[in-house]
Amino acid sequence: MSFVLAPHESPGEGLSRVIREQVHKLSAECAEAGQEQAAFAHKARVRCKRVRAALRLAKPLMGAKAYRRENRWWRDQARLLSELRDAGARIEALDTLRPFLASRIGSDATRRLEERFLRSRRTVEAEDTIRQFIDGLDRRADDLVPAMEAGVRADLAGALGQTYRQARLAMYDALETEAPELLHEWRKQAKYHALQARLMRQQFPDALDKRVAGVRDLAELLGEVQDIEVVMAGAKGWRERPMGFREVLDARRKSLVTGARATGAALFSEKPKAWTKELTPPVMAE
């Protein structure tokens, strides 16, 4: 089945299935990790994030202590791949920005920057990092789907409302100063909210069907902002940097943040309690 809870499933049944499916897919990807290491790091971190999004929803069904333990374990697993993922992220970010940069600083300068990033990626010790990640999964192979109660939709509505609240607060913090680390946090919380809206769209279709696309668009806008930050950080100390390089990226960043501001305002205008109440009738009747 896909990354969504079916209407006939109890919350606990559906979330357990989703986590189990993500674990199985991750295990299959581990078997091919050596073929494309940077791509594996990206896919594995996405799997970890999906599991953590499901765990957030499952917190009322499994208890706070079990949730903290499982969430911390998946967070630490993902962090094992951070350096490898960051090295690959520079290449991916540059690929996203390539048409924009090539038209402003030229194809040759863009190619030289790519060569710089490729040299940097080759210095990362990928095999040991991936082995640690896989070993961690192997040690818990039979213990990766936590026990949880069946629960009711009201439990999931409350958990979804909490993620809405966190994304909304992160938005206000980020837009006050537009600092890179705060925009990154907003993107992270928006992605969790997007994943949960996707998971829950058949449980609360009236509230979430249209929201899934909107919050995904917001995460993509903020992802492009982060791409710019990644490219600028990777270009630090670049002696061949052409004139105007930073200025064109700053202008692009400003435009993207303006778009994210408008999108976020539309998505998070309501206070969390009011938004959560919209999930209640009539689909939460048990």
CA nearest neighbour of 118 among 86, 88, 82, 96: 88
Residue ranges of domains in the chain = 11-277
Task: State residue 56's pLDDT score.
Answer: 95
Nearest to 241, CA basis, from 113, 140, 128: 113
The distance of Cα 197 from the centroid of its chain, to the nearest Å, equals 13
Cα–Cα distance, 231 to 233 (Å, whole number)? 5
Per-residue pLDDT of the chain (286 residues; tens, 9 = 90+): 589 999 889 999 999 999 999 999 999 999 887 767 777 888 899 999 999 999 999 999 999 999 999 999 999 999 888 877 776 677 778 888 888 888 888 888 888 888 888 776 655 556 788 888 999 999 998 899 999 999 988 888 999 999 999 999 999 999 999 999 999 999 999 999 999 999 999 989 988 988 999 999 999 999 999 988 888 888 888 887 888 888 888 999 999 999 999 999 999 999 999 999 888 654 444 4
**pLDDT reported for residue 186:** 97
Q: How many CB atoms within 10 Å of residue 75?
A: 12
Angle 101-104-105 from CA coordinates, rounded to 5°:
80
**pTM (predicted TM-score):** 0.85
3-class DSSP assignment, residue 281: coil
**Cβ distance 92 to 80 under 8 Å?**
no
Residue 227 Cα distances to 21, 81, 144, 206, angstroms: 30, 18, 32, 33
Residue 263 CA to residue 260 CA, distance in Å, equals 5
Handedness of CA 199, 202, 204, 208 (dihedral sign): positive
**Which residues are CB-contacts of 113 (< 8 A; sequence separation ≥ 6)?**
94, 101, 231, 234, 235, 238
Main-chain phi, psi angles of 2, to 5 degrees: -85, 180
CATH topology of domain 11-277: CHAD domain (1.40.20)
- Assess contact for 218 and 264: CB atoms under 8 A: yes
- Whether the ω angle into residue 146 lies within 30 degrees of 0, i.e. cis, is no
42/26 Cα distance (integer angstroms): 11
Predicted pLDDT at 27: 92
Residue identified by tokens 């009236």 is: 206
Tokens (6 digits) for 132? 């640690």
Number of H helices, E strands in the chain: 11, 0
Neighbours of 69 (CB within 10 A): 12
Q: Which H or E run contains 162?
A: helix 153-177
